[in-house]
Chain A
Amino acid sequence: MSAESAAGAPFLSATDVTYRYRGAAREALEGVSFQIAQGACFGLLGPNGAGKTTLFSLMTGALALQGGDIRVGGVSACSDLPKVRAMGALAPQDLAFYPGLTGRQNLSFFAGVYRMDAKTWRKQFDEAVAVGQLHALLDRRAETYSGGEKRRLNLAIALLNAPRILYLDEPTVGIDARSRRAIVDAIAGLKAQGVTIVYTSHYMEEVEQLCDALMVVDEGRIVAIGGKQELLQRYAPSALIVTLDEPARRDSLVALQPAWQDDLHLTVPIASATELPRVLNAMTAAGAKVATARYGAARLEQAYLAMIGAREAA
């Protein structure tokens, strides 16, 4: 299966990528081909063990290709891996820095790894610190940071080499809603600056907000690929999206069976518009103060489950 993620010249193109781990019974990835447009945010979705991490490792150059090719900015990973690596940066799901060092020392070490000159270091340091909102934290050891602060440092390190393509592997996992919002806003800002982003997350709300194009993989193969709107329309036509004025108790809204929920947002699947009054009344009765409510927008959670379901049915 092959598709171009969005309009515009592809910045990254994968052709027939196949990878099998030593001793594994089957390929972790098999014949995967896709393209990502310059400046796009490309969502990579799939259940655990689907092959997302392997694909990330191949795109970032952490793993060497066994079959097929990946070209980044026109450069083949098969022929010039160092150049491909130099164009990108990874913020892995693990907090990939040194907890015993301060934020500044971590940034300094990775700047050394990227062999920056002094001028570039100063510029990139300021930018990374600003994006990660790390000013007040720089001289504290990273092990004393909160979960959200650690995630921001993880992201800031990835920004040090001014990547043209940024690979974000679940950058908001395990943090509170406010920190998540800060990171999502930072990523949106990078996207606005023209950085190409490859993004994976289990938080569908974020993926839906940030991504222009999506690819769903399962068992090493592409299940679905295309523009976000196209996939949403195809797989999940209706839902009510609610933003609250203040955080509501989660258990008070359980009766509505939301498809997705955090402190201030929830998504309620509904079959038709006639159900809207019932749902809104129920929310008011539960003490939730609704700030905005949107109906008619497709929801990614539904779409994703529909895509995976369709594959299993097939």
Chain B
Amino acid sequence: MRRSALLASFVKELRLLARDVHGLALLFVLPLVFILVMSLALQDLFEARAGRGIGVLVIDRADGPQSQDLYARLAANEAFSVRRSETVPNDADMRRLLRGSANAFAIDIAADYETRIAELASENPEPLVRVTAASDTTKQTELIFVAALQGAVERQRAALLMTRIGYLVPEGEEAASERRIAVSYAYAPAGGAAPTAVQQNVPAWLVFALFFVAIPFSNSFIRERQVGAQRRLRTTNIGAFTQFFGKLAPYFVINQLQVALMLAAGVYLVPLLGGHALQLNGSVFALIALSVTLSLAALGYALLIAVTAKTTEQASLTAGLGNIVLAVIGGVMVPKFVMPEAMQQIADLSPMSWGVDGFLELFLRNGGVVDIWPELAKLAAFGLFALALARVLYRPQEQT
């Protein structure tokens, strides 16, 4: 069986890559560090924005059907992250529980809540529910929370009173009332939610890492030209396409390993360090398609730099700076949803932005291939155009 020039080129490139262990490690370690640091460091910021509920600790002294109903009403509200206290603390314990915890409030439901909730005119001056705010809870948050709590108690009272006078609240009424008001986010795509820190940072730095292969690839390509190996290869029948694809294929494999590793870091490593786990929602097939087209775009970009740069220094600088510019405008370093409208439009010009958008569509909105079709098409078109342009620009070099 004859040897394959493509396979020989692939193996040669892998061997050269294996020699540069530090460069190779950088392709994996650098984005991994970014993912961990940024996911954990920005977790609170993203949560404030993306809607993880206000922490509420519930001390239920009544522990009856009505107090449990109030608990359920609060828990059903996405604005709150409600947790039941295992103990019934005194005032000092309450302050201790709130200090240094994720809870903004503790609510203490009175022991006689069950009987007093439906009283029409009570002489009892004691409140039904006491609210204790944590020291770092803002006044704004307090007012909003108290209003919501008031609303929940009043709706519960209204339902009880109507039942008392013989009016049965229709089934589904409560659920229907939730749908009367719709919320949308000016900074997120239509109908979409804003991502959490890990949902934003894993795709963002993953996309950044994929484009980073432009540096080692272009350096390898230029060194091959400098030592005269390309001239020698031009006297054989290997052809430019075999040469290009033989060199690009190992980097495609590296790109896919990067995707697997970064996603695994989001799913398994970030939660180990105290962050939220990345949820790999959406279609697996769409995820693979996105990973492949992203790599195509990154490799096209890499080849374009390789054939246009004259020295390794020039290639490193162009690829490095180019990556940073694409990342800055593409929503990697600054999430797109916090950008003003004009900047978001500029961001849409960056292939990195297409990649990040694709991942967010899958992870946040359970997307499939159809949902990320525009991103896939743009990435594939960019990659193919860059590869074709690189081939055209390489032609004059074959005549020198």
Show the binding face of A for B, using Cβ within 8 Å: 21-22, 57, 60-64, 82, 85-86, 88-90, 92-101, 105, 108-118, 121, 157, 161, 167
Contacts and interface: CB of A to CB of B under 8 A. Distances in A.
Nearest to A53: B231
A101 B12 CA distance: 8
Given A60-B235, A85-B236, A112-B5, 19 more contacts: A61-B234, A62-B235, A85-B235, A88-B235, A90-B231, A93-B228, A95-B227, A97-B229, A98-B224, A101-B16, A109-B8, A109-B9, A110-B8, A110-B236, A111-B3, A112-B4, A112-B8, A113-B5, A167-B235
Given A97-B229, A115-B2, A115-B3, A62 B234 contact: yes
B228 A111 contact: no
B11 interface: yes
A108 to B, nearest CB: 7
B16 A113 contact: no
Interface in B41-74: none
Nearest to A92: B228
A117 B2 CA distance: 4
B274 interface: no
21 contacts: A21-B400, A57-B231, A61-B234, A62-B231, A90-B232, A93-B228, A96-B229, A96-B232, A97-B227, A98-B12, A100-B15, A101-B12, A101-B19, A109-B11, A110-B8, A112-B12, A113-B8, A113-B9, A114-B236, A115-B4, A117-B2
Contacts of B233: 113
Interface string B223-263: 01001110111111110000000000000000000000000
A151 B310 CA distance: 26
Given A96-B227, A109-B9, A22 B4 contact: no
Contacts of A61: 234-235
Contacts of A113: 5, 8-9, 233, 236, 238
Contact of A82 (B4, B12, B224, B237): B237
A108 B12 CA distance: 9
Contacts of A21: 399-400
Interface in B22-51: none
A99 B7 CA distance: 20
Interface centre among B9, B11, B12 (most CB of A within 10 A): B12
A164 to B, nearest CB: 14
Given A61-B235, A62-B235, A86-B237, A98 B229 contact: yes
Contacts of B224: 98
Contacts, number: 97
Contact of A64 (B5, B235, B236, B399): B399
A21 B232 CA distance: 19
A157 B3 CA distance: 16
A112 B234 contact: no
Interface in B348-400: 396, 398-400
B1 interface: yes
Across the A-B interface, give the 5 residue pairs with the lowest CB-CB distance, nearest first: A112-B8, A94-B228, A96-B228, A96-B232, A60-B235
B391 to A, nearest CB: 16
Given A94-B228, A98-B227, A116-B2, A111 B8 contact: yes
A111 B8 CA distance: 8
Contacts of A121: 3
A99 B220 CA distance: 12
Nearest to B400: A21
Counting chain A CB atoms within 10 Å of each CB, the highest count among B2, B4, B229, B400 belongs to B229
A112 B1 CA distance: 11
Contact of B9 (A63, A89, A93, A112): A112
Nearest to A120: B2
Contacts of A63: 398-399
A60 B5 CA distance: 19
Interface centre among B233, B235, B396, B400 (most CB of A within 10 A): B235
Contacts of A92: 228, 231-232
Contacts of B4: 112, 115
